[in-house]
Chains A and B, each alone.
Chain A
Amino acid sequence: MFVCHCGTNIAGTVDVEAVADAMKSESGVVYSATYQYMCSQSGQDIIKKAIRDYELGGIVVCSCSPRMHEATFRKAASSVGMNPYMVEIANIREQCSWVHKNREDATSKAITLARAAVAKLKLNFPLTPGESGVTKRALVIGGGIAGIQTALDIADAGYKVDIVEKSPTIGGKMAQLDKTFPTLDCAACILTPKMVDAAQNENIRIFSYSEVESVSGYVGNFTVTVKKKARYVKEDVCTGCGLCTEKCPRKKIPSEFNLGMDNRSAVYIPFAQAVPKVAVIDSEHCMMLKENKCGVCSKVCTAGAIDYTQKDEYIEEKYGAIVVATGYEPISLERFGEYARGMSPDVITSLEFERLTSAAGPTHGKLVRPSDKMKPNTVVFVQCVGSRCEPSLGKGKEYCSKICCMYTAKHAMLTKEKYPDAEVYVFYIDVRTPGKNFDEFYRRAAEEYGVKYIKGMVGKITPDGERLNVSASDLICRKKLEIKADLVVLAAAIEPSPTARALATKLASSMDTNGFFTEAHPKLRPVESPTAGVFLSGACQGPRDIPETVAQAGAAAAKVIGLLSKERLTANPCVAVCDEEMCSGCSVCGNVCPYGAITYVEKEFRVPGGRTKARRVASVNEAVCQGCGCCAVACMSGAMELKGFMSSQIMAEVDAICRTSR
């Protein structure tokens, strides 16, 4: 028994000598001592010496929370040959001295806690952690800026990485942006070189137009099946010349890349800088695939890359770590009828505005009204459309989408730069610009560019002839405003990619109520998911801008590299164990397990009469189990137990506490 003073942290309220004295007479305790700082080198030496001198079978340290120093004391004990799981911590700091003022009460509680620890220790048994190997290859799901950056960083460290991207090209949302805040440098100029780097890096493989079909295994040893959708073009043969796209007779298909603001052909390359720059045939619109009539692309292709018989291909690969980088989508504005979205082509979303101002966009960078291609003289920006809404109303999202204030300031500036005489209004609830050089950027829009920032939401937008009638109220001037606008830009809230939920199920990774991936700890483990070996990068975890995404991508890569650099992984031995004699195979534990660690096997059991009978029982994969204990709680027959926290041990602790307090 080792009682720590922790300076005055514990000794200030707890009479540590009294605790040590009381424990001397406790059955099973052969040695009891106190020291000022038990975690220090000399404190640890006291522990080591006592273990050797008295040949102790286990020790109790009365000190701070096990979160603080359990590992320290376990290491000290194992250095002198004691199994580290024979060390128990009685937390007499956070749960005793810090929360009590009365010295007498605190001391008696400390004694009770120490007794409980002794009672548990008597039932402890040595545990040995298992080990498993690590596959030296990482999988990145999503090929936007988050996925690309993570893959590049992992590849730089010398590990193999595969990127799985659902669309025909990597690049994601950033490829659709025109300029980036707060520096106004062009998105393509900073993104496309990274896309090329990823394609040329010998450690990176890109599976474009592909999706994750299934995931099994556990940290260090995942097996993933990737579905490579048929693109009807041989990827390794196509040169990306684009002749097929010119000759294709089906040309009136709304372009996904330009958000339907212009058209593409049935065989297409998403945009000029696509990676891989390979054509893809849209099977829904291709006449050859639908009706077996046409075949023009195949005739004009000099490389012979067109293959109408291509089928979906399934690739199975092993990975040591998985990074989720599935990104975001703007929400649908269907439920915001008051903003005349759909009633007028001149009410656009911010992402559409990006395409309108982009040199590679449908208007080649000329900012015009979509309806009549005329210059807009009055442009109104509406912020928080669908963000910060009461969720029970079912209209929008509860959270702040974070990026809209900044990109709206950017859009307002870009408008003023193109048309200095244009009237530009921004309607806001709050302007939120935390970030390096962010507030300065917003102020520049208001002060230098003369953008009119008005506090108050827009109530209604009504098409009025060629223009749009915007009704709003200026809350600061207490004035009703009616503005005749030529173009209205709605800053739509962002939400997780619709593909994310199915993926989370496959990865046994948890999501919050908004569908964003949950991190293992919001402050201390922000890029790890609670599922071991699964990491998070970018907006799949919550709204974030490009600088933050890139920073997080690097952090996730560092975590992956740390994992892949290990030859063997030591598992936590405090995992669930199934008493097969008791197990009825009812599946309750498997259903509650958040990590997918429990499977069911048919096993032969001896039955009376010298015969055997097959029975279904639970089996725990110790490498996947995180020791959360859900199964042990849910098990109706008491077959599931958590090693190190067996029911008998917990009950012994409870008994000891009840005995003392009586």
Chain B
Amino acid sequence: MECKGEALCAEVIRISASDVGKCMRCGKCSASCPSYDEMEYHPHEFAYMVSSGDADALLESDSAYKCVSCLTCSERCPCGVAPSRLVEAFRIIKARERSNAAFAPERSVFDDGEIPGQALVSAFRKFSK
């Protein structure tokens, strides 16, 4: 599935169920982010780029894998935008692009060198809640 431009943003919003329109550009998410210096694009830019309909650069960047899924950005966001869910949506879209075979039960995801470790940590965080 080739996903770009507006369609990509719509898909991110669908997966994340995040109301990016509520973002008032306060930047508290980025100010709280422990991976800020590692990331090319920062949490507030995820919200801003998705709401502006042009987020292709986020898919090409590895910023989504620099996120440690601490979920602090979502906790602190005064608008309830939940940037961590947006970041997670990009990881999901990337995983789906690689085909779901990566997640087939007969194949241990732990052995797959191609999956960045961060995706695994995020998945554990998400599903252990």
Q: A residues touching B (Cβ–Cβ < 8 Å)?
A: 338, 384, 388-390, 392-393, 395-396, 429, 455-460, 471-473, 475, 478, 480
- The chain A residue sitting closest to B48, CB to CB, is A475
* Residue among A389, A392, A393, A475 facing the most chain B CB atoms (10 A cut-off): A475
Mark interface residues in B17-38 (1 if CB within 8 Å of A CB, else 0). Answer: 0000010111111111100110
Contact A473 B79 (CB under 8 A): no
Q: Is B42 an interface residue (CB 8 A)?
A: yes
- Complex Cα gap A429–B28 (Å): 9
- Complex Cα gap A471–B25 (Å): 17
Contact B26 A471 (CB under 8 A): no
Nearest CB on A from B123, distance (A): 25
Q: Is B78 an interface residue (CB 8 A)?
A: yes
Contact A384 B26 (CB under 8 A): yes
* Residue among B30, B31, B76 facing the most chain A CB atoms (10 A cut-off): B31
Q: Is B53 an interface residue (CB 8 A)?
A: no
Contact B44 A396 (CB under 8 A): no
Contact B26 A457 (CB under 8 A): yes
Q: Is B5 an interface residue (CB 8 A)?
A: no
- Complex Cα gap A644–B107 (Å): 80
* Chain A facing B: main interface SS: mixed
**Given the complex, which residues of B lie within 8 Å of A456, measured CB to CB?**
26-28, 30-31
Mark interface residues in B31-55 (1 if CB within 8 Å of A CB, else 0). Answer: 1110011000010100000000000
Contact B78 A390 (CB under 8 A): yes
Contact A475 B27 (CB under 8 A): yes
Contacts beyond the supplied A392-B80, A393-B80, A459-B30: 5 A-B pairs with Cβ under 8 Å: A456-B31, A457-B31, A472-B27, A473-B44, A480-B31
Q: 8 A-B pairs, CB-CB below 8 angstroms?
A: A338-B32, A338-B76, A390-B79, A395-B78, A456-B28, A458-B28, A459-B29, A473-B44
Residue A390 contacts which of B28, B29, B80 (CB distance < 8 angstroms)?
B80
* Residue among B30, B36, B78, B80 facing the most chain A CB atoms (10 A cut-off): B78
Contact A473 B30 (CB under 8 A): yes
**Given the complex, which residues of A lie within 8 Å of B31, measured CB to CB?**
456-460, 471-473, 480
**Given the complex, which residues of A lie within 8 Å of B25, measured CB to CB?**
429, 475
**Given the complex, which residues of A lie within 8 Å of B77, measured CB to CB?**
390
- Complex Cα gap A473–B24 (Å): 15
Residue A473 contacts which of B22, B27, B72 (CB distance < 8 angstroms)?
B27
Nearest CB on B from A370, distance (A): 25
Contact B78 A478 (CB under 8 A): no
Contact B44 A475 (CB under 8 A): yes
- The chain B residue sitting closest to A387, CB to CB, is B78
